[in-house]
Structure 1
Amino acid sequence: NVQPLPARNERKAPKWDSQYEEQLPTFFEEFETVAKEAAIDSDDLKMKKEALRYVDAKTMRFWRSLDTFEDDQKTWDEFKKEVLSNYPGAEQVPETTTDTLKKVVTKFAKSGVSNSQELAEYHQEFATVSKSLTKHGILSGVQVAGYYVQVFPDSVRAQLNMRLQVQHTAKKKGEAYSLAELKGAVDFLLSDANTIYVGRESTTIRGVTAIVGERPVHCITDWGCSIIAMSVTTCNALGVMFDPTRCIPLQSANGKTDWTLGVASDVPFQFGEVTAILQVHIVDSPAYDVLLGRPFEVLTQAWMQSFLSGDQHITLTDPNTEKVVTVPTV
């Protein structure tokens, strides 16, 4: 349905105060919307004429004096372009430079960003400037991210990379984090920094699940242990063969010394796409199925990340294929 152009005092009418030049592009967008509803958007003469009804008398006289208004051959877009050229503050693509971005960073570095509200204010101002710089190829995403983190406290910056790696495990090496991803991680760290935590009296021992001989096996990790150990019960259940002539003394935490039953050579443990080929000592009646000690940590370049919730992730690298997987503990 065709709707008439709204009167100047109607709520739907386009509005513009000439004191605020930066709002002129928005005024034109609003006018074009109501003009389309009134079915005059394809008539350049009417568009130029009717736009004047929504501006003040001084602006009206000035716009009428423009060459593109007086010349009936000039289009609405040409008229609009000439109008905008007379209002420097109304440029639709503001001229932003790296120095503009540095000023934003310096401003907030001085005032500080220590909570979610301050982060939101900084993020909005930074994103507005950086968007133009990346859009026009002035800065890369990696460079923008480098500027973004400069305002945060050292305590936050020290943990930021680790937090991002845990949150975005699929991110490729060298791929830039988006501002939204950075903001989310920083917001978490800032809220975390304002909380005082104390250690628990005890926590449950956590482990990982490996596939050995097509069967899942629960393994606990202990980087303080110099061997890989497996209970004889688990060994029998999996059908793992071992050499009974290769026994070593094994001292427990209470000082008791016992002997292992032998060594199973080159046992493959699968963790997703990562396979660790291990030398496993068979032990009689331990309190675990499998204990992954220091040799496993070294072979897989294991990197462990613990969280205040009690959760834990272990990142493993296959030394033969260089594939990487992050395994949640259970």
Structure 2
Amino acid sequence: MTAQELPMAVPAPGLPARVRIHEVGARDGLQNESATVPTAVKAEFIHRLAEAGLTTIEATSFVHPRWVPQLADAEQLFPLVSALPVALPVLVPNERGLERALALGARRVAVFASATESFARANLNRTVDESLAMFAPVVSRAKAEGGHVRGYLSMCFGDPWEGPVPVAQVVQVCRALLDLGCDELSLGDTIGVATPGHVTALLSALNEAGVPTGALGVHFHDTYGQALANTLAALQHGVTTVDASAGGLGGCPFAKSATGNLATEDLVWMLRGLGIETGVDLDRLVATSEWMAGHLGRPSPSRTVRALTPRASQAASHKEQ
């Protein structure tokens, strides 16, 4: 990629110098695909993402195959990528899932909670309190094994059944997850309805409740085109962990209106323009997303991938020679 094809870096005051991208394409991005993606393709996808400079790549989920058939190959996939020099967190829904993950050497795990009763019922068939009780031994065992635990919290801004979610309600569940022992939280805008002011209000309320900004990441969907604006609001508040999905893959099987996650390429483009370091090679990342789009049989929804694909493919080819 030449200088003419990069955004001009114009740092803005008050923003972090570096952002850690928590790449979710291999798990959240692929989990809803109707056609089974071969294990070897998933493994190569993760390897390519690592080669592009991503240092945290969510690999898979140890859920029951009936829940998420696309990720039924977790036991086969994880050994194919576990030697990579990157963090490879995996989703574990319960104690059985944790046992399976620990048996393969996984030490970075995530649990998936809900800020609303309706989504907790739809996703976990439990109330919010019942789901937290289910996660308690999972978090405790993972920590006892020297692991790192991320707590995903969905429906932080809006719920398709309940509408706007009160900030205090989200804060209460976040506080409960931290009290269980979670090391970090990911605030999910599952149906993509958040706007920047709402993001700032929630982050401020969490700080007032004793939740440090350093323990927070953000996970935005782009349903209404607000993901980058919401990310910028979070960066202005001091957040330095942002979830994104290569090529904009993914959505939510329990929220039918949700479109894909924030595309990693779109995020990297904005961060480069702000002079924020990520360590990501955008050429390689775009080429990787285009490669995966070919396997899925449809173009990437990422605007940056579409804009840079011809140039990125050529640049990545030159780098490999």
User: Which TM-score applies when normalising by structure 2?
Assistant: 0.22
The structure with more strand, counted as a fraction of residues: 1
Structure number with greater CO (CA < 8 Å, separation at least 6) is 2
User: Which TM-score applies when normalising by structure 1?
Assistant: 0.21
The structure with more helix, counted as a fraction of residues: 2
